[in-house]
Each structure stands twice: as structure tokens, then as C-alpha cells.
Chain A
Amino acid sequence: MNFRRSVAVMVAPLLGVLTLTACTTAAGEDDKTPVSLDQDWSAAEPITIDVYDGLANYMGIQGGWFGKIVKDKFNMELNVLAPNVAGGGDTLYNTRVAGGDLGDLIVVDKGEQMDELIEGGLLLDSSRYYDSMKNVAPYDAAVDHLNEGKDGVYGFPTSVSSLKPTEPSEGIDPTFGPYLRWDLYADAGYPEIGTLEDLLPVLKTMQDAHPKAENGQPAYAISLFKDWDGNMMVTAKQPACLYGFDEMGFVLAKADGSEYQSIVDSDSEYVRALKFYFDANQMGLVDPESTTQNYDTMFSKYQNGQVLLSWWPWLGQSAYNTDQNMADGKGFELVPMQDQQIFSYGAEVYGGKQFLGIGSGAEDPARIAAFIDWLYSPEGVLANSSQTMGSSGPEGLTWETGDDGEPVLTEFGTKAFLEGGADVPAEWGGGAYQDGVSALNVNTVLPIDENPATGFPYSYKYWPSYQEATANPLTEDWAAHMGDAKSTMEYLQTNDQVIVAPGSSYAAPADTSEIEAIRSQVKASIIEHSWKMVFAKDQAEFDALLAKMQETVEGLGYATVLEFDMANAKAQNEARVEVASTFQ
């Protein structure tokens, strides 16, 4: 015992010392003489850089055709670190940041993360390279806006655009929308849908007529998942987006700033959506596996035709609208819901939510700056843009310029994009095309923007040749019933059913740690109760759970967070109004 005590006495002061040895490395890059990036990097020493990428869905060395392009141009390999793959929320970020080195090339959120990385000295001031970054130059206003109030150039904006902020950033399909299995909707006789709740009897008819999918498994109108639940149950937020709302913390803010709702209020669009799901479940329309499945399981159900409703075109259509299905007239299409006013994100003149930056510990920052610059060049945009946005790929491989100067997909491109994949020729790096796409999954320039080299948008999905090539019984039938609309966005715009939130690039200020602590408890409670409400036994239980949720979050300090979110939502609206008038 005595000995133990003496050890304790010896140890105690040591603890104090160790406590203070937390690590921060200073940037220490005071030299601001400009550096020219104009050199042939392919002759430089080979290096591998760590890319910490908050958007990536692949972890490891970038291979395939994109890897080869980067290797040929910069003699550089990309080791992608993807928190989405690593799992565990912010664990990877926190661990790396605490270790003082997040990565050589960093793709994270602007706002809070950017500020703390600069303060912690983890981001490099790229001012000395910026003058030489010719391809970023056209977006100088966006770069300035991103680095406003900071003593240098610490980041480069993503998803920049030369469109007006009041124009939708989505070109063909909106981000949200009531997408039903059009073929089954047709079988039901194209019933009229006045408002959200009118979907239920329609879905009931559709499900009753088609209780089983082609694979023999039961089909349900609605299938839910929990992976993306954040401030609220994510699938219950989507119907609110059909009425022009988007979330700002616990606030649902209308795109034009005309209305702000607290999500837990009994008359909020969020609770309305919970009620919608509850009613659907009472009618037997909700997949009972919703409570335990993850996104991947649900996605494969969409692929198998086991789900009939999708709130997102990029879920239902990308899973089910294969060439084969569409040729058979089957697939997801937007249905005309008469009172809908779909939320649309305006083009972000100042860039999207994330930014690209160079880590302060980077071995060869000049080469990374040159690489970033290349990502903004037409060649870089075409090769690097994310697949979900319709990245066209490198010229000569997937597409070529036709006789009339219009870009068209090559035979290889048609196979790769429309017929489920193709093997890349050896001189382009080999392997399957899909495996070789850029793992960065970040758009430097919006794919809807015009490629100065061709005069057409970057993404092949907007090329006339593509739209002609993809006409099929499904889209023809849809267009016939939708006033011969050429695209979903066109239909919505002609019918005044879309509401654009000007792209202000507003980034909400960081939660204070107190708010963050309250928020994390409140949102856990909201999500827990929301799920229980959807699967409640009867109306009485639903109401009781709603009351319990309101009471619990109130007790946890909901009001404090709501006030904070409300102020942010209003500030966001001011920024939207301002940007809309600046870029008129």
C-alpha cells in the first residue's frame, strides 16, 4: 500500500506535463514569393499523396484509367482516405487532425472544418501558387469569397458555376421529387394526385396490383433506411422538400424565405411526413424490414423492383431505370402532384459545400497545386467529375466531337454508360471502366456548365445526341402524359412547380460546443421517436409518441438550438437575396 502511494505521488506531476503535450504543428510557411507551376510534372520524382476526401466512397490507391491519367501527367499516385468508408462518423477526421496531419490534399466542408483546420495550422496557404493557377482563374470571385477574411488562399471551391445563382443547378432531374414506378402508375390509370396524402391510395392500388416483384420477393410501396439520419429521420424530411423546404439544423426553411418551421411542431411538414408514413404503414405499404436494413440493402430492393416510390431520382432511377427495363416501359418517373413546389438548389456561383485544400505537411505542395489547377481545366472536369452527375470521361475514350462539332458518345462510351460497363483498352490503363473512375467524387465545376472547348455542357447527359439515343417507351409514355415535356425540370418549370433557392454558398457558423452537445442528444431523441411514430400501433400511440418527443427535446434544451438554427436560416436567406441581386 505504501509503495502504491509513493508511485502515485511520483506519477501525479507527470500526468500534468503529459496533458499539455497535445500536438499542433504550426504552418510556418511565411515565404510568399510566387512559385510557377508551369513545368512538366511527369518528369518529376514519383510520389504518392494522401487525399483526405469527405466525399469519397472508395478507400485506397486510385487505379484504372483515371489513376493512369494522373500518373502520366503528374507522376503521382492518389491514396484516397475516405471517412465514408472508414465509418464511425468523425472518428477518422478527429484522429488524423489530432495527429497533426489530415492529408496532403484535403476535401472537407467549408465553414467550421475549414476554420479550425486553418487555426490548427493544418492547411497550407496556397497564395504563392495561386497566381499561376490559370484554370482556377475564371472562378476568382468564388475563390475570393471562400477565403474572405482569411490571410491567404487556403482553399478552392467545389461545384463552381458560371450560371446565374437563381438558375437551378440540376439540369434534367431535380434533386427531390415524387418518383413512382411509372408503369404501375399507368396500370392504375394515371390517377390524379392532388397532394402528398393522395399518394397513399394510389400506392395502395399499385401495390395490390403488383404484390410481388419479378424476383418473387414481396414488393412494398415504401422502403425506408436509417443510415443517413442526421438532425432528423432523413426519409421523413424528403416530402418537405417537395413543398420547397430544406433543413437548417432543426429548422425547415422555405427556399424563398417565406416560411420557417420548427420540425417538432405538430403542424410541421416533418410531422406531416411522419404521419404519412404512419398511415402508409397502417395500410401495409411500408416494408417491414425498413427498421433494420441499411442503404445498400434498400438499394438492391430498388434494383429488383421491390419498391414503388422514391423521393429521389438518383435513387429510384439509377437503381431501376436500366436500358432493359426502360425498353420494356418500366421505370421511375416523376408523377404530377398538383400542389408540389419542389426545392431546387440554385447554381452556386461561390461554390458548393466542400472545398479543396493543400495540407500543411504536404511534401510537394507545388505539384498538388498544379493537380488542383488541372481539376478545373476542361480536361480535368471531364475526367474527374462524379459519376452520379454524369461525368463524361476523357475525350477519345468515351466521347468524341462529331462532324457538326457536337460531342457524341463513342461506341465504348455507350457501352460504359448505357449498357452496364465496358473494359478499358490497355493504352488507357485497362480494367473495368467503372473501377477506374475518379474516386475523388468531387465536382470542381458544375457538370451542367458549358465546356468552353465544345460549347456544350460537361456532362454527357445534357448532350442532344445522348437524349436522342436514350429515348425509349418509358420516357415517351411519360412525355405523352406530361404535356410533351423534354425533361422533368422542364415540366416543373413550365408548370411553376419548382422553387429555386439562389446559390449563395452560405455556410452556417460552427455550433458552439454547448449547442453541439445539446444537438447531439436532441437529434438522437428525435430520430428515435420518429421511427417509433412511423411504426406506432395506432393513432393514439402516434400522438402519445409525438407528445413525448416534444416534451423530451424541450427538456434537453431544444429551444436553445432552435434559436441558433433559426438565426442561421434567416442569415442564409439574406445571403440568398443578396447573391440573387448581385448576379441579376
Chain B
Amino acid sequence: MSMTQGAPLLERGAATQAVAEQRRQSKRRDGRPGRPGRDAGRGRGKGSSKTMFLLIAPFLVLMFLFSYLPLAGWATAFFDYKPALGLGGSEFVGWQWFSMLVSSPTQVQQIGQVMANTLAMSFLGIATSLLPVFFAMLLNEIRAPWFRNAVQTLTTLPNFISWVLVYMIAFSLFSTSGLVNSVLHDWGLITVPLKFLDTDQNVWLTMLLWSLWKGLGWGAIMYLAAITSIDPALYESARIDGAGRFQIMRYITFPQLMPTYVVLLVLSIANMLNNGMEQFYVFQNAFNKEYIQVLDLYVYNIGITGNSLSMATALGMLKSVISVLLLITANAIAKRARGTSII
């Protein structure tokens, strides 16, 4: 994978590179040598490609073991798999599971609802993916380091809390006898407990808020790192030109973060169907199931809860196929819009 900077930023990017190059040169003049070994290696040409291959071989093996080998499990989708009998002892059924998935309008409608949930949650996630950028930029503007660090730590922490614990927090706050309902009740504002968790109202929105609460600080880390690598010369010149704080944010920081943002965006589009299942698994109940069941959770509910392993595999395969299609589409769009491909 390679990534060059986009067309609108090309000029500034080139200038930055020129400055950086100049610095490297000046450092060398201070007596530090470049890296002769590496330069020499590059010049050796064809003879070294075997060594190079050996160097990446371990990663290829890992890649094979963890990304390609499990694909063998797809065979399950064409059998009536019973664990006790093994794949060899199970009956071969061909495309039966795939045709079952589309066998009746209700079935199709159910998968349609699941897809709608999946895409809706993903689009909401993508729509809010700029929030960590702004958060990082604003955090970066805080002068007092202790305060900045405190905020950063506190907002990053939720990322390390598992969804199970998040649900426990949600439960103790929002269940019918939870903190919020008891307080409202004690103040005489309500007589019947409000249903926050066991309702089919605003499921997508509440799920989005939970994942934002959990992921905002963590998402900002990447951008904070990117901010530190922005060339200070850009800020200096902007300041000399009389730019104010918000102008610097608007014209320097924000555009400089865009390349990082775009890469993450394209990856998240390819990942659109993978919105995970832990969050939805812990929050699901009979009341919100219709809107909370995303593809991964649906596969789990059918395969593990419902014990239809083969059918779940067939569903999972469809998911991979759609993901690949989405990735190709996203890549094509990126290629057209920015002139470079990411894969």
C-alpha cells in the first residue's frame, strides 16, 4: 500500500518535502552520515530479490495462516455440517443454504432489515468520523499540558472498557430501576419508568452515541499523532502572514489531516459490513432486536444461538463477497477523485 498526497495539497506537500529534504541535508553536513548500507542495497538490483523475499516470507506465512487458511471453512456452507460427524461425514447439499436465504419474501425482508441496520450503523459511523478530527484539533489547541493530558486520558479510557462492562454501566444507569429512572422518579418528574434499553425507539441513534462515547478519544489519537508531524514551518509562515488561531486550524491543521482522514475513510467503507457484534450483542433484547441486529450479530444468532452452522457460514460468505465489492467501489471512487489507488 502506498499513499501520496492529494492534488489540492500537492503544492504545499511539495514545499514541505523540500523543507524536510533541506533539513536532512543540513544534518548530514553536521557530520551524520546518511544510510550508506541501504543506499547500496538498492543499487544491487536483481540479485537481492531473493533476500528481500525471505524477509517478507514470515509475514506472508502469517497472512496465509490467519487470512487465507480460515477460508477453507467456507466449505461448511456447502455441507449439512454436523460437528460430531465432521465435514467428511456430513451430507453435501450444494447451494441449499444459499437458496434458503432467499426462499421466501419474509426471509428476504429479514435479511433486508439486517442489511439496512448494518449499513445505517456504518453510515452513521462514517458520518460522524470527522468528530475525532475536530476533537484532536481542539485538544491540540489547549495550552495547559496537564489539562490536555487529563482530557486525553479520560476520553481514551472508555476504549479499553469492554462492551460487556459498558452494558453494565448502561444497565445501572438506564434500566427501569436504574439511576436515571430512580432520580427522575424521586423528583416527581415521572411516574412510570422510562424505557431506555428495552424499546425499539431511536435504537440506531443510541447505539451511535454509545460507540462515540467509547471511541472518540481513541479515534483522536491517530490525528494527534498526525498533528505532531505537521511541519512547524507551515505554522511559522502562517503566523508571520498574520493568521489567527482559528485560521491556522482551518487552513493548516485541517487540510494537513485530510490525507490521514481519507485513508481511514476508505478503509472504513470497505469495512462497512464489519461493524462488529459485541456492542449489539450485549445491547440486544426482544424489543430492539429488529433494529439492532446487524449482519455479524445475525450470523452469530443463526450459527451459534440457533445452531445452524452451515447456514451461518453461507451468510458470512455473502458478507465477504459484498465487502470485496464495496472495497473495489471505494477504490474506484478514490482513484477517480484523487488520481491514486489505495490497493
Taking Cβ atoms with an 8 Å cutoff, the residues of A that contact B are: 7, 11, 15, 18-20, 22-24, 88-91, 93-95, 97-98, 113, 116-117, 119-120, 122, 226, 288-289, 291-292, 513-514, 516-517, 519-521, 524, 527-528, 530-532, 535, 551-552, 554-557
Smallest Cβ-Cβ distance to A533: which chain B residue: B286
Q: Mark B74-118, 1 if CB is under 8 A from A, else 0.
A: 010000101111111100010011001001111101100000000
Shortest Cβ distance from A528 into chain B, in angstroms?
Answer: 5
Which chain A residues border B85 with CB–CB below 8 Å? 24, 116, 119-120
Shortest Cβ distance from B307 into chain A, in angstroms?
Answer: 5
Shortest Cβ distance from B55 into chain A, in angstroms?
Answer: 14
Q: With the chains together, A521 CA to B21 CA distance in Å?
A: 63
Evaluate contact between A98 and B86: CB separation under 8 angstroms.
Answer: yes
Evaluate contact between B198 and A292: CB separation under 8 angstroms.
Answer: yes
Which residue of A18, A117, A289, A551 contacts B176 across the interface (Cβ within 8 Å)? A289
Smallest Cβ-Cβ distance to A217: which chain B residue: B177
- Say which size band chain B's interface belongs to: 35 or more
Evaluate contact between B308 and A513: CB separation under 8 angstroms.
Answer: yes
Evaluate contact between B75 and A24: CB separation under 8 angstroms.
Answer: no
Q: With the chains together, A74 CA to B60 CA distance in Å?
A: 52
Shortest Cβ distance from A434 into chain B, in angstroms?
Answer: 28
Evaluate contact between A521 and B307: CB separation under 8 angstroms.
Answer: no
From B34-42, B259-267, B297-305, B332-340, give the one contacting chain A. B297-305
Q: With the chains together, A516 CA to B290 CA distance in Å?
A: 21
Evaluate contact between A520 and B72: CB separation under 8 angstroms.
Answer: no
B285: interface (CB < 8 Å) = yes
Which chain B residues border A531 with CB–CB below 8 Å? 285-287
- Could you jot down 16 A-B contacts, CB within 8 Å? A90-B307, A91-B304, A116-B85, A117-B84, A226-B285, A289-B175, A291-B287, A516-B306, A520-B305, A520-B308, A521-B107, A521-B302, A531-B286, A551-B106, A554-B106, A556-B104
Which chain B residues border A91 with CB–CB below 8 Å? 304
Shortest Cβ distance from B109 into chain A, in angstroms?
Answer: 8
From B63-71, B128-136, B234-242, give the one contacting chain A. B63-71
Evaluate contact between B86 and A23: CB separation under 8 angstroms.
Answer: yes
Q: By DSSP majority rule, is chain A's interface helix, strand, loop, or mixed? A: helix
Q: With the chains together, A531 CA to B111 CA distance in Å?
A: 22
B171: interface (CB < 8 Å) = yes
Which residue of A18, A116, A288, A528 contacts B84 across the interface (Cβ within 8 Å)? A116
Shortest Cβ distance from B210 into chain A, in angstroms?
Answer: 16
Which residue of B75, B105, B304, B311 contacts A89 across the interface (Cβ within 8 Å)? B304
Q: By DSSP majority rule, is chain B's interface helix, strand, loop, or mixed? A: helix
Shortest Cβ distance from B80 into chain A, in angstroms?
Answer: 4
Q: Report if A98-B83 is in contact (Cβ < 8 Å); known contacts: A19-B72, A89-B307, A514-B96.
A: yes
Q: Report if A18-B286 is in contact (Cβ < 8 Å); known contacts: A94-B309, A120-B89, A288-B176.
A: no
Q: With the chains together, A116 CA to B308 CA distance in Å?
A: 16
Q: With the chains together, A292 CA to B178 CA distance in Å?
A: 12
Evaluate contact between A120 and B84: CB separation under 8 angstroms.
Answer: yes
B289: interface (CB < 8 Å) = yes
Evaluate contact between B104 and A555: CB separation under 8 angstroms.
Answer: yes
Q: With the chains together, A226 CA to B177 CA distance in Å?
A: 18
Q: Report if A535-B308 is in contact (Cβ < 8 Å); known contacts: A292-B175, A514-B100, A517-B97.
A: no
Q: Report if A528-B86 is in contact (Cβ < 8 Å); known contacts: A520-B307, A556-B107.
A: no
